[in-house]
Amino acid sequence: MPRFRHLISIDDLTREDIEYILEKAEKFEDVARKGYSDALKGKLLGNLFFEPSTRTRMSFETAMKRLGGDVVNLNTAEVSSIAKGETLADTVRVVSEYVDAIVIRHPREGSARLASEFSSVPVINGGDGAGQHPTQTLLDLYTIKKESNLGNLKIALVGDLKYSRTVHSLIRALRLFDATIYLVSPESLKLPGDFVDELGEVIETDQISEVIDEVNVIYVTRIQKERFPDPEEYAKVSGSYRISADTLQNAPDDLIVMHPLPRVDEIATDVDLTPHAVYFRQAFYGIPVRMAILSEVMGYE
């Protein structure tokens, strides 16, 4: 029996569920790299993307195909014609009769939960508006496990902590692992009070330099221009949260820098060549993690 039928929110998982998936992902890593398995041979995945996310879609497609399965896509370009006026509930009812599992990406929060209630097959949330993106969180945790240490973790979350759904989900999951969390953000993009309350002990600062010696992981997120009415203010703020090789000059060797990508300029390209940069490997880890999730919901041990 699969540990879960649908994957909608990271909050639905226990620490044991997460550890199980991360271990399963590890077993798939060789296949993920350049290999092939027939674990999901004959199975068909339906990618329902109601808004563009090439990276997430490609990575699910890659994971499915490396496991011997195949994929059918409903792309944004088709959404407007196929699903004009049709409810999501109806679309999901129809498509779930065609395929063995569904990945859904949709601009509205709660859409994946709703889809799971109308689908006859497992539903995986590939991002629902400002809501949840649990496979991103799982691949972040996998990256930390592989490149650093999930036990006794000290992690600094840097940048837009107010709006970043990636950060909010990651925080929820990190609580299960008793991580020490450092919050580094400008005043206007601080983590919402509700979250801070939930966290209990937390260290807040607006200076990256104050935490570099303290942490194992720096997780950088993009500060979006749209959040600032004043372009000068944006330039000033985003500049002061930029990580460069200089910023990391005196950092301990085993400090890792993560980023959900795509980056704009919050991590300078000169960091790419340092041993601290793990964000491209982090993106790759999306494949074994999604393989683990796909095989789990489709019943492959």
Provide the binding-site residues for another protein, judged by CB under 8 A.
9, 11, 87-89, 106-111, 113-114, 117, 128-132, 194
CB-nearer residue toward another protein: 129 or 299: 129
**What minimum distance in Å lies between the beta carbon of 86 and another protein?**
10
CA distance 34 to 29: 9
Smallest gap from residue 294 Cβ to another protein (A): 24
Report in angstroms how near the CB of residue 169 gets to another protein at its nearest: 11
Nearer to another protein, 16 or 109 (CB): 109
Q: Other CB atoms closer than 10 Å to residue 99's CB: what's the count?
A: 22
Q: Which is nearer to another protein, 26 or 51 (CB)?
A: 51
165, 144 Cβ separation under 8 angstroms? no
User: Strands, E, within 148-221: which ranges?
Assistant: 154-158, 180-184, 203-205, 217-220
Residue 241 falls in which region: left (phi positive, over 0), alpha (psi -120 to 50) or beta: alpha
At closest approach, how far in Å is the CB of 80 from another protein? 16
Contact 175, 198 (CB under 8 A): yes
Identity of the residue numbered 116? S
What gap in Å lies between CA 257 and CA 277, rounded to an integer? 5
Q: Which is nearer to another protein, 117 or 265 (CB)?
A: 117
Cβ-in-10-Å burial (0-12, 13-18, 19+) of 65 comes to middle
State in angstroms the smallest separation of the CB of 194 from another protein: 8
| Nearest distance, CB of residue 89 and another protein, angstroms | 5
Nearer to another protein by C-beta: 8 or 181? 8
- Nearer of residues 111 and 282 to another protein, judged by Cβ: 111
